[in-house]
Amino acid sequence: MASGFGLFLGEVLRHPTEVVAIAPSSAAVARRMTDGLDGITGPVVEIGPGTGSFTRAILARGIAPEQLTLMETNTRFCDSLQRQFPGVRVLNRPAQEIDQIGLEGISAVISGVPVLARPTIQREVVGRAFNVMAPEGFFSQITYSPNAPIAPPMQRELGLRAEKRATVWVNLPPARVFVFHRIHH
């Protein structure tokens, strides 16, 4: 894991505005972020995989490599992910293009991309993800805020509901995991 941390630290120093976490996410957070993936048969997309801590947890849940697509904008992270996870589709593309990668019926999106307090990003990433998601699909999001990373008015606009899954105190900083589902009428 030291090499993942070294790569992470190097990218933080090279691109301080792109890499927003202060440390790669802990295994405890990765487990909570990937709850609900057991037995899923549809495609899974991870956005902002970074050094792959959630990716490892996704595969450990039994998701087949060919079922998983990673969307990462940092080319060094992409190269590293490609080497670490053979068979996984790694795209050097922004999360906003999730509806343009040729997938429909996505079962789950696991997001390490910060969406807090950015309505444009919420519409472009979360909104578009739900456009190509299966009816029962879910969007799992990490945040370092005590509140849902998507405020109630935006949840209503996107037709979603938030569920707080966990607070992981051992993470640095403490992380919260929220899951978003469609509101079924």
**CA–CA distance, 97 with 17 (Å, rounded to integer):** 20
Q: Is a pLDDT exceeding 60 seen at residue 65?
A: yes
At 57 the pLDDT is 96
Residue 37, amino acid: L
Computed over its alpha carbons, how large is the radius of gyration of the chain?
A: 15
At 74 the pLDDT is 94
Q: Please report, rounded to a whole number, the percentage of residues in the chain having pLDDT higher than 70.
A: 84
At 1 the pLDDT is 42
Q: Is a pLDDT exceeding 70 seen at residue 116?
A: no
At 119 the pLDDT is 83
pLDDT tens column, 29-48: 899 999 999 989 999 999 99
pTM for the full predicted model:
0.85
**CA–CA distance, 22 with 8 (Å, rounded to integer):** 9
Using pLDDT thresholds of 50, 70 and 90, give the confidence band for residue 146: confident
Using pLDDT thresholds of 50, 70 and 90, give the confidence band for residue 131: very high
Taking phi over 0 as left and psi of -120 to 50 as alpha, with beta for the rest, 55 belongs to: alpha
At 185 the pLDDT is 58
Task: Give strand ranges (E) for 6-131.
Answer: 44-47, 68-71, 89-91, 106-111
Mean pLDDT, the chain, whole residue set: 87
Domain coordinates of the chain in residue numbers? 2-182
**CA–CA distance, 123 with 171 (Å, rounded to integer):** 28
**CA–CA distance, 139 with 179 (Å, rounded to integer):** 6
The tokens of 77 are what?
A: 């992270």
* Beta carbons within 8 Å of 83's beta carbon, 6+ residues apart: none
At 132 the pLDDT is 97
Q: Which CATH superfamily groups domain 2-182?
A: Vaccinia Virus protein VP39 (3.40.50.150)
| SS3 per-residue string spanning 86-99 | CCCEEECCCHHHHH
pLDDT tens column, 134-143: 999 999 999 9
pLDDT tens column, 85-104: 999 999 999 999 999 999 99
For 146-181, give the DSSP string. SS-SS-HHHHHHHTEEEEEEEEETTSSS-EEEEEEE
**CA–CA distance, 176 with 107 (Å, rounded to integer):** 21
CB atoms within 10 A of CB 3: 10
